[in-house]
Amino acid sequence: MHIPDGYLSPATCVATYGAAAPFWYVALQRLKRAMNTRMIPLISVFAAFSFIVMMFNLPLPGGTTGHAIGIAIAAIVLGPWGAILAISIALAIQALFFGDGGITALGANCFNMAIVGSLVAYGVYRAIAANTPIDSKRRVFAAAAAGYISINVAALLAAIELGLQPMLYRDAAGSPLYAPYALKIALPAMMIGHLAVAGIAETILAAGVVAYLQRAEPLLLKATSGQPSGSIQRVGWSATKPLWASIAILLVLTPLGILAAGKAWGEWSPADFTNPEARQQIAAASLSSPLPVSAPAGLEQLASFWISPMPRYAPTFLHSPAFGYMLSAAVGTGLVVLVTLFAGWLLSARVKS
């Protein structure tokens, strides 16, 4: 679901950045006003959680891969605005340092997953959970529904953005300039895997974490509970220690994320369009639709817009893919903490001034 550079036209990229910007602004203003609630530790831990969870690739129908995102649980604990910031931070670090998602397409990826995904997850959770007690099983079901619906809405938006490209942007000969598959291919190719596998993974993740928090840290579920005095004012770094311990365990297990073969649909490199084996995989994942003989011209031009230092979570100085993947997870987690700490310091300085 991470749209790479070159799959969206510059006009689409500008439009999606423009669509995302007001939500980022409001989210930052909400965080600035809520600095006394010490949300930075929670934003940090759920941004790191999302970053790590997205590294666990799952095999999808058609030979592609997908993953959970952690949208719903972030929205349930942080509220929609905190979740927007947490997921956006994770996506930005993935794009900048690991080449997972494009820099030009970061606005689209954040709009789909961080913004719309968080708002949908929060809305579904609140609608189903209502004002039930924190330990109610109905909240577990609400989290499950929020996870399944939010990730599939995000996938639907990505499919639409990709599927519109060949309709809107073609060269003089009529060939697609960017993403090559129209909506009739993009929608089923993207949605079947997310409805059948990735959505279920997000469902289990959201429900499982909420069930755990109900027993271990119910305070973290109060802010979005709809109950009187729902607040996270007493939550600091100490309250997040069990969550960081869980993230540490996931970090060690990240090499499992490279066991799933194949790439996510719509994330092929220009070289894949001329590689016979890769072409077969693309065709199989795209309802056996014909491929262009080479990568679309616009995709070829923009694909190298940004060269990340650790592309595809595979540091070039390491020969062990498993260790390189785990090291990338550790580096990404550290970057999440640094970014959120810097954001907290900057916002605090502005509040004092």
Q: What is the mean pLDDT, run by run of 10 residues, along the chain of 353 residues?
A: 97 98 94 70 94 96 93 96 97 97 98 98 97 96 98 98 97 95 96 97 97 92 77 61 92 95 92 94 92 94 95 91 96 95 78 62
- The tally of domains found in the chain comes to 1
pLDDT at residue number 37: 52
CA–CA–CA angle 44, 80, 263 (5° rounding): 70
Domain containing 145: what range? 10-352
Domain contains 344 = yes
d(CA 335, CA 103): 17
Domain contains 314 = yes
CA–CA–CA angle 257, 337, 240 (5° rounding): 85
Residue whose C-alpha is closest to residue 159's, from 98, 108, 106: 108
pLDDT at residue number 34: 67
pLDDT at residue number 241: 84
Domain contains 268 = yes
Q: Do β-strands 58-59 and 65-66 pair in parallel, antiparallel, or remain unpaired?
A: antiparallel
pLDDT at residue number 233: 47
3-class secondary-structure state, position 51: helix
d(CA 126, CA 142): 8
d(CA 243, CA 172): 54
| Residue 335 burial class via C-beta count within 10 angstroms: exposed 0-12, middle 13-18, buried 19 and up | buried
pLDDT at residue number 353: 60
Asked if 101 and 94 touch (Cβ cutoff 8 Å), the reply is yes
Residues β-bridged to residue 66: 58
Residues β-bridged to residue 59: 65
Q: Give the H or E element holding residue 66.
A: strand 65-66
d(CA 138, CA 214): 12
Domain contains 143 = yes
Domain contains 3 = no
Domain contains 65 = yes
| Residue 160 burial class via C-beta count within 10 angstroms: exposed 0-12, middle 13-18, buried 19 and up | middle
Asked if 89 and 336 touch (Cβ cutoff 8 Å), the reply is yes
| Residue 186 burial class via C-beta count within 10 angstroms: exposed 0-12, middle 13-18, buried 19 and up | buried
Domain of residue 134, CATH code? 1.10.1760.20
Asked if 233 and 41 touch (Cβ cutoff 8 Å), the reply is no
Predicted structure pTM score: 0.95
Domain contains 4 = no
Domain contains 60 = yes
